[in-house]
Amino acid sequence: MTNHPLGDEIYIAYAAGALSAPMRLLVETQAAVRNEVREECELAEAAAGALLEQIPPAGLEPGALDQVFAAIDAERASLGEAGAMRAVGSSDERRDVSAASAAGRAIEELLSLPGSVRDHALEVGQWNFAGPGVRRMELMRDGSAKAELIRLEPGRGVPRHGHDCREFTLVLTGAFHDGLNRYGAGELCTADPSLEHKPVAEEGEVCIALAVTDGPLAFTGPLGWVQRAIGALS
């Protein structure tokens, strides 16, 4: 388990466009919260750009520019206008307002996340139950790779689990301890098949983390079968 940037190999793969979509999201998010990571990515992209300049340019397919403008026009046409607001009177409407207020708080929480994750989270917009005080939101899949947000209430955590692949967990808000190390905002926990741990959020603040894996987690302990059942239904 480590607590440092992802490393040159991954940053170079990112610059070359060789990473899966979940791993690209992880790199972009880490770069947004850590200056040294952003600088490493910029160096890798500069090196990739220098190599790209040495490659002879390829011509566009006929009508490529027209296709781009058509896609832009189609996206603009799909944007609707908000309907008129209604006066609040009935109990049903008041309940709607209360629910909207709660939803607004949840949206504010998502809006505080780094841009790369925030946009995907707002598009999904729905937390799913993953245990007492634990919520998860899957953001994307690409083959066996998956990116999701994990939300831990203070003092709550996920069951002890092992790994049959690499798992990268980047803390965005709050902090957690897994029995081995503490990880605060902007810090990265990297786990592999040799590790078994149980992340638990610290008291005082909700912990939200971006978790990226390239395969399923192997849960153990008394809650493992519950977690596997939830995963099978999602």
More confident residue, 128 or 74: 128
Q: Could you tell me if 139 and 124 are in contact, meaning their C-beta atoms sit under 8 angstroms apart?
A: yes
In the CATH scheme, what is the homologous superfamily, with its name and number, of domain 1-49+104-234?
Answer: Jelly Rolls (2.60.120.10)
Residue type, 144: S
Measured CA to CA, the distance from residue 119 to residue 100 in angstroms comes to 20
Domain boundaries, the chain: 1-49+104-234
Task: Tally the C-alpha atoms within 13 A of residue 132's C-alpha that lie toward its C-beta.
Answer: 4
Higher pLDDT, 94 or 45: 45
| Burial (CB count within 10 angstroms: exposed 0-12, middle 13-18, buried 19+), residue 74 | exposed
Which of 232 and 141 is assigned the larger pLDDT? Answer: 141
Q: Is the pLDDT of residue 234 over 50?
A: no
Ramachandran quadrant class, 63 (left: phi over 0; alpha: psi -120 to 50; beta: rest)? left
Model confidence at 147: pLDDT above 70 = yes
Q: What is the mean pLDDT of residues 107-133?
A: 91
> Where does the pLDDT of residue 110 fall: very low under 50, low under 70, confident under 90, or very high at 90 and above?
very high
pLDDT at residue 100, as a whole number:
47
Question: What's the whole-number average pLDDT of the chain?
Answer: 77
The mean pLDDT of 70-86, rounded to a whole number, is 61
Whole-number pLDDT of residue 4:
53
Structure confidence at residue 197 (pLDDT): 81
The answer to whether the pTM exceeds 0.75 is no
Q: Are 191 and 5 in contact (CB under 8 A)?
A: no
pLDDT top residue among 18 and 54: 18
The mean pLDDT of 7-28, rounded to a whole number, is 86
Closest residue by Cα to residue 12 from 58, 61, 48, 50: 48
Per residue, the 3-state secondary structure of the chain, as one string, reads CECCCCCHHHHHHHHCCCCCHHHHHHHHHHHHHCHHHHHHHHHHHHHHHHHHHCCCCCCCCCCHHHHHHHHHHHHHHHCCCCCCCCCCCCHHHHHHHHHHHHHHHHHHHHHCCCHHHHHHHHHHCCCEEEECCEEEEEEEEECCEEEEEEEECCCCECCCEEECCCEEEEEEECEEECCCCEEECCCEEEECCCCCECCEECCCCCEEEEEEECCCEEECCCCHHHHHHHHHHC
| Higher-scoring residue by pLDDT: 136, 106 | 136
Over residues 8-13, mean pLDDT: 81
